[in-house]
Structure 1
Amino acid sequence: MRILQLNSIVSAKAAAYSERNRITKEKRNVPSPLDTNVTLKVDSRLALVSFYGKIKPAERLQKSNYKIPEYIGEISKARYFYGNSSVVDLSMGNPDIIPPKKARKVLKDKVDDVWASRYNSPKGESILFHSISKWMQKRFGVEIDPRKEIMVTSGASDAVDHIFTAYANYGDKVLIPDPGYSLYDDLIVRHDLKKETYPLDPKNGYLPDFSKMPADAKILILNYPHNPTGTFATKKTFEEAVKFANKNGILIIHDMDNSEITHSGKKPAGIMQVKGAKDVAFEVHTFSKAQSMPGLRVAFAISDEENIQNLLKAKYLSGGSVYTPVQAAAAAALDDEEGYIQTVNKIYRSRKNTAIKRLHELGSDAKPTQGTYYLWAKVPPDFNSDEFFKYVLHKSQIAFTPGTVFGDNGDGYVRIVMSANEKQINQAFDKIEKAGIRFDISKLDLPEETRNEIDKMVDGTYSIVAKADSDYAEYMKTLSKKRTIMQERIKGKDPKYNAFVVKDTTKLPWNLLRDGQKVYLQNQKEGVALFGEIRDLPPFSSPEEYRKLALEIKKQWKQEKYPQAEILPPYKNGKFYPDANYFVLKADDKIQAIANVEIQNDGIVWGRSLNSAPWNQGKDKQIKNCATSVIQRMVSFCLETGNNTLKFATDKPENISYYKYLGMKTEGERYFNGSKCTVLRFDKEDMEQFLKRYQVNLAF
């Protein structure tokens, strides 16, 4: 009997081993995601990519109408095309102000506590409960039992998620505002619930009309101050909400994410100020906005004891809790809040006023919002939100949030977030103004060429890419098309570029450079050094037109940026090589350095002028750190454009030692500008090792 059992086990193991080998062999034959012959299954709404296989993703992923990844993908594409530092993001609600000093100190101190890294209560810590209770009494005049009526969560969305788990069954109806925060929609899909929107009309001050709401819902979500419009709700609105909930047996979630950010200083009402609200409502507060702690993921929910116990049971289903030092920091922030909040509101008020002034100059009638640190601005006539968002993004590299992210009723608006300082906000509107974009000019009144460009922005064909999908796998496949276009230009098959490009072996990076590199092209044709930003280059109708742009850029550099500097490249006594194109890469470090990547006609790339820029001043260590940063950009340039060798030449012993330290190999000697120089070389493998060593991410 034992022998039979053993034989059965051996046979089963052999069968399993054979099956594992078969699967492994199949996996080896699976094509790369970059293979253009691979059939992909793409959900453009979530930018999900799945290969046809045995394991299918859940249907809820296909049902989601969560639009944030779509517009973030468009911003990522803009960063890719125009350079990371060129794009100013005024779209994401991600505060840039440092948290309160006392909270930061408590966080640092508590990390060293022996109990800090141990499991803690999913409900929260006593120190934070008591701070919340005192704050609710002081701020709203509401008595909250610190032991029974509060639960701490990992952000406001986490609170809503667990409330759904605790109270909503499959197919239950949830009422959400339109326009409103789009994550509500996604959480409804996650829990297999039924969504029904209620409209918020600007004519009614973006307040709900409870008489028109269905009575058969299980949950009603309110969000005031309102995201994205900044509207306050009155205490009367909350009284009507509680009455509606009691009458129909509906649970209210009041998401008060932006409770303390106000424009005039007037504080908004909360639902817990209404008698009996605890019985039928949760109110959710977060430390992300007012205390500028979004990355610490801490919030709290308030309700009566029974509701909090149900929420805690739901929390136990998923486990997890908020890190103890973070809760201590949150308590410190509440205890020391008033002065900090006044400072934060003063900063946001000033930013809003600056943005409103610039919007009015561009023909907008936008007004300061009552609360939040957002502005809600109408798009120009005959534009929809998505069109205008992409138009502004691609023409000026400024990112707003399209109103459609917040629902159908958000169309016709963009949200502008005050997550940049006043100087950056002014610079952003300078770029919009320079691009010729106005809020009072109808799309129909724009030139036909501009309207055609907007159509291409909307359908994804704007740029040299034939089709750039928001999905990254599809987007990566366009790289081979780009390189084909480059080679066509280089081989002289594109007459618009033929007059400005030299031999077939030259490899150019058309629109492939990124990560904030500012790229300038010089060409020694006709004995004149020509300058121009790569994205503003050909087609030009003639060399004269090209030269005119070069002179304008040269003048701008002399007057605005480095009035005492030599014009690039910074050779005082050297000469240009007529057999080479120069790409000048500028590193945005504290110590400015200019590096020339010289692509000669034999296809060899030379790194040039690391330390010859006259404004490159500083300590030796700083200069070398900056030089390393510049070399990273050179190496990135070479690998991304298919140039597998990068050479340097220097007559300075300290530079030779430094280059060898970075991993370069000595190749020989060569004369440059009358000086005998040692030649050092990076091959492809050396460059890849260099990038790994300095943790540079080249993923597209």
Structure 2
Amino acid sequence: MKIYPVTLHNKFIKNNLNVVNITTESNYHKKSQEKKPDLPIVSAKLALISFYGDKKIKPSSRLENSDYKISNYIAEISKARYLHGDRAVVDMSMGNPDLTPPEKAKQALKDKVNDLWSHRYNSPKGDGAFFYTVSSWMKKRFGVDIDPKKEVMATSGSSDAIDHIFTAYANYGDKALVPDPGYSLYDDLITRHDLKKEAYKLYPQNGYLPDFSKMPKDAKIMILNYPHNPTGSFAPKSIYEQAVKFAKENGILIIHDMDNSEITHSGKKPAGIMQAKGAKDVAFEIHTFSKAQSMPGLRVAFAVSAKENIDNLLKAKYLSGGSVYIPVQAAAIEALKDEEGYISKVNKIYRNRKNTAINRLHKLGSDAKPTDGTYYLWAKIPPDFNSDEFFKYVLHKSQIAFTPGDVFGPNGDGYVRIVMSANEKQINEAFDRIEKSGIRFDVSKHDLSEDLQKEIAAMADGSYSIKPKEDRDFEAYMKLLPQKRELLLKRIQNKDSKYLSLVPKEDVKLPWNILKDGQSVYLQNIKEGRSVFGEINDIMPFSSEKTYTDLAAEIKKQWKQEKYPQAEILPPYKSGKLYPDAQYFVLRAEGKIQAIANVEIQNDGCIWGRSLNTAPWNQGKERIMKNSAKAVIARMVSFCLETGNDTLKFATDNPRNIALYKSLGMKEDGIRYFNGTPNTVLRFDKEDMEMYLKKFQINLSF
């Protein structure tokens, strides 16, 4: 039985609902001596309605009307990450910039967050300062006059704008014209609004431009999208003039989704529909900050049109509520001003990446050419493949993800979209892998070996599978532990028996999410806003003297520099005198030690965490690398489980460390004195350690 709170109206009292009205709860219980159905209690304003019987509440049919093409190919990439390892897959499929937003935009966001008034409900239409900046930009960029008070509205991305334009103008069953190939979210929005999709075909022979003479004239809405996703083609002003004429003659509203307006390969900027005479009357033009300004996560865009159209869009927005966060609009203002020349810089970056990718594609037999705009390449696939087959073949054979062309419609089949969301080094490494896998763009599927064709067929139909990377890694590590055990037993055979606590146990059962010696973890460079792979390595007790001297020299070279005068470096690392009877854990990333710690056996027979020290650049408010200390602690916890130690203790007199350890799940366990100074003892028990690993496992890389 499901119970739902609803406002009580007579229309809910139907045969399939059991509702009882009572005066007080106590009266109900007085009458409950007799056996009665488990009836809900109803107040004057709220009813608890229970649905009895075997009837299920069915979801709307529109959920079944979408083909979910985007989510399906993303699910295949997730499958590849699971099978081959998350670090192995290079994603060049999604239009998700890897660059950080303009510095002034980031600073404006931070500054505005501290403004008290930013956190109140704000206008669904947007902020006045944002409108004036948009108006100024439209005039400078396109030579178009936009009234800042009447002809612009802020939206939560371009899809939000299209969604609400549909709400404002389209009725059930209205026909919407969309490009094929075209962005598949248009199809999903059409499904969401119960509209009828009519695709108009675009062909490479005429630069993927629409032919209005072949379009149906009974549509309510037409979507244009230039620079075109996925092909990158520009539309000249004459196309917009034809579109406006066609729309006026047939009573059709135009949505021009111009989300890639500022990304250009040649340096030539594309025209926009607002440059066509009379466009405001029949068209919306939408610009987003997701691509050129690298702000997709902030969800901000704007729509411009005539006052009447903007008023209707605002009315549609009132039906759903919501608005763009004021600090986000402040960031968008600075991004649009572009006082630091950000757009020019990102265009240079994407141009170089495209050229690198095109050169590598040519070596693999492709005839790919640079696109006019966007940061996409649109490349033909080998003969006798369909796009989905080739996408999965490249993904599982070389672990490189492109976008299958049929995601954009039937006319996209025969192509893949390649997104420049990886740097030049990553692009070269990606194509190295494709080349090493023997994949070429000029070799027909039918010319491949029979076994390989069968493997491709399995990839295509979803039956392809191998043992997942995390399982393979775990099995390999479990085989390594006995070797580590044997080595350490030899080292301690003539030493105190307490060191047996540092030896891996035989036949130990470990959770899959331990952080293993030599495993990679995700860190975050918060200064540059990018993810980083770190690797953690153990130094076993009683290693060679050279091992310790080399480590001490590495710490001294990297950490003890004049530019870190305020950094806290603990005595063992400052002096270079490391403890040979301790187990060390060293986290490195980008060629530097990011954090280090050790564990040792003390007189109480417990494992104690000691000398946890993050690198100088990871300390204080200006720290660079996030999660380095947590990664080392995750390895210390995993080591305790490997060695059968159910307790891990720390002692500190630093309030910040106490707060950190408690946030990780440690409990206070008394006071311990070191050189006369009281230190708070904190303790992980086995359950706490296992819980911490569950929290940390999202940072594991396989």
- Common topology (TM > 0.5): yes
Unaligned runs of 5+ in 2: 1-20, 42-53, 494-502, 511-515, 524-532, 541-581, 597-610, 616-626, 652-656, 668-682
Separation (CA, whole Å) in 2 of partners of 1:211 and 1:152: 34
Unaligned runs of 5+ in 1: 22-51, 466-509, 531-567, 598-607, 639-643, 666-680
Residue in structure 1 matched with residue 244 of structure 2 by the alignment:
242
Is 1:178 equivalent to 2:180 in the alignment? yes
Residue in structure 2 matched with residue 82 of structure 1 by the alignment:
84
Separation (CA, whole Å) in 1 of partners of 2:391 and 2:24: 68
Letter in 2 for 1:159: A
Query: Does the 8 Å contact 1:646/1:683 carry over to 2?
Result: no
Report the 3-state secondary structure (helix = DSSP H, G, I; strand = E; otherwise coil) of the residue aligned with 1:320. Answer: coil
Residue in structure 1 matched with residue 364 of structure 2 by the alignment:
362
Residue in structure 2 matched with residue 227 of structure 1 by the alignment:
229
Label 1:571 to 1:216 Cα distance change in 2 as closer, same or farther (>3 A).
Answer: farther
Letter in 1 for 2:156: S
Residue in structure 2 matched with residue 586 of structure 1 by the alignment:
519
Is 1:646 equivalent to 2:651 in the alignment? no
Is 1:218 equivalent to 2:220 in the alignment? yes
Query: Does the 8 Å contact 2:178/2:222 carry over to 1?
Result: yes
Query: Does the 8 Å contact 1:174/1:218 carry over to 2?
Result: yes
Please give the root-mean-square deviation of Cα atoms over the aligned residues, in Å.
4.3
Report the 3-state secondary structure (helix = DSSP H, G, I; strand = E; otherwise coil) of the residue aligned with 1:376. Answer: strand
Residue in structure 1 matched with residue 379 of structure 2 by the alignment:
377
Letter in 1 for 2:236: T
Report the 3-state secondary structure (helix = DSSP H, G, I; strand = E; otherwise coil) of the residue aligned with 2:643. Answer: strand
Separation (CA, whole Å) in 1 of partners of 2:264 and 2:22: 75
Report the 3-state secondary structure (helix = DSSP H, G, I; strand = E; otherwise coil) of the residue aligned with 2:117. Answer: coil
Label 1:334 to 1:649 Cα distance change in 2 as closer, same or farther (>3 A).
Answer: same
Separation (CA, whole Å) in 2 of partners of 1:574 and 1:449: 53
Residue in structure 2 matched with residue 498 of structure 1 by the alignment:
none
Separation (CA, whole Å) in 2 of partners of 1:166 and 1:613: 55
Report the 3-state secondary structure (helix = DSSP H, G, I; strand = E; otherwise coil) of the residue aligned with 1:395. Answer: helix
Deviates more, 1:104-113 or 1:193-202: 104-113
Separation (CA, whole Å) in 2 of partners of 1:613 and 1:316: 51
Separation (CA, whole Å) in 2 of partners of 1:18 and 1:356: 69
Separation (CA, whole Å) in 1 of partners of 2:367 and 2:340: 33
Q: How far is the alpha carbon of 1:313 from its aligned partner? A: 0.7
Separation (CA, whole Å) in 2 of partners of 1:613 and 1:124: 46
Q: How far is the alpha carbon of 1:254 from its aligned partner? A: 0.5
Query: Does the 8 Å contact 1:225/1:371 carry over to 2?
Result: yes
Q: How far is the alpha carbon of 1:297 from its aligned partner? A: 0.7
Match of 2:282 among 265, 280, 283: 280
Letter in 2 for 1:245: A
Report the 3-state secondary structure (helix = DSSP H, G, I; strand = E; otherwise coil) of the residue aligned with 1:169. Answer: coil
Q: How far is the alpha carbon of 1:156 from its aligned partner? A: 0.3
Query: Does the 8 Å contact 1:591/1:622 carry over to 2?
Result: no
Residue in structure 2 matched with residue 446 of structure 1 by the alignment:
448
Letter in 1 for 2:643: K
1:541-580 matches, within 5 Å, as none
1:55-74 matches, within 5 Å, as 55-74=57-76
Q: How far is the alpha carbon of 1:424 from its aligned partner? A: 1.2
Q: How far is the alpha carbon of 1:464 from its aligned partner? A: 3.8
Label 1:335 to 1:571 Cα distance change in 2 as closer, same or farther (>3 A).
Answer: farther
Label 1:442 to 1:580 Cα distance change in 2 as closer, same or farther (>3 A).
Answer: farther
Letter in 2 for 1:621: L
Separation (CA, whole Å) in 2 of partners of 1:264 and 1:596: 53
Residue in structure 1 matched with residue 570 of structure 2 by the alignment:
none
Q: How far is the alpha carbon of 1:663 from its aligned partner? A: 8.6
Query: Does the 8 Å contact 1:570/1:609 carry over to 2?
Result: no
Separation (CA, whole Å) in 1 of partners of 2:176 and 2:168: 14
Separation (CA, whole Å) in 1 of partners of 2:684 and 2:24: 59
Letter in 1 for 2:425: K
Separation (CA, whole Å) in 1 of partners of 2:539 and 2:60: 51
Query: Does the 8 Å contact 1:595/1:630 carry over to 2?
Result: no
1:7-18 matches, within 5 Å, as 10=27, 18=38
Residue in structure 2 matched with residue 435 of structure 1 by the alignment:
437
Report the 3-state secondary structure (helix = DSSP H, G, I; strand = E; otherwise coil) of the residue aligned with 1:220. Answer: strand
Q: How far is the alpha carbon of 1:437 from its aligned partner? A: 1.3
Match of 1:136 among 110, 135, 138: 138
Residue in structure 2 matched with residue 353 of structure 1 by the alignment:
355
Which string of whole-angstrom CA distances, capped at 9 and with x for unpartnered residues, describes residues 401-450 of structure 1? 11111111111111111111111111111121122211111111111111
1:492-507 matches, within 5 Å, as none
Q: TM-score, normalised by structure 2?
A: 0.70
Separation (CA, whole Å) in 2 of partners of 1:453 and 1:272: 51
Separation (CA, whole Å) in 2 of partners of 1:420 and 1:519: 32
Query: Does the 8 Å contact 1:518/1:586 carry over to 2?
Result: no
Query: Does the 8 Å contact 1:126/1:147 carry over to 2?
Result: yes
1:606-625 matches, within 5 Å, as 611=585, 620-622=611-613
1:675-686 matches, within 5 Å, as 685-686=687-688
Separation (CA, whole Å) in 1 of partners of 2:135 and 2:97: 25
Residue in structure 1 matched with residue 262 of structure 2 by the alignment:
260
Query: Does the 8 Å contact 2:66/2:191 carry over to 1?
Result: yes
Deviates more, 1:191-200 or 1:421-430: 421-430
Report the 3-state secondary structure (helix = DSSP H, G, I; strand = E; otherwise coil) of the residue aligned with 1:197. Answer: strand
Separation (CA, whole Å) in 1 of partners of 2:346 and 2:487: 44
Query: Does the 8 Å contact 2:87/2:701 carry over to 1?
Result: no
Letter in 2 for 1:423: K
Q: How far is the alpha carbon of 1:321 from its aligned partner? A: 0.7
Query: Does the 8 Å contact 1:235/1:271 carry over to 2?
Result: yes
Query: Does the 8 Å contact 2:612/2:629 carry over to 1?
Result: no
Query: Does the 8 Å contact 1:153/1:300 carry over to 2?
Result: yes
Label 1:448 to 1:331 Cα distance change in 2 as closer, same or farther (>3 A).
Answer: same
Letter in 2 for 1:251: L
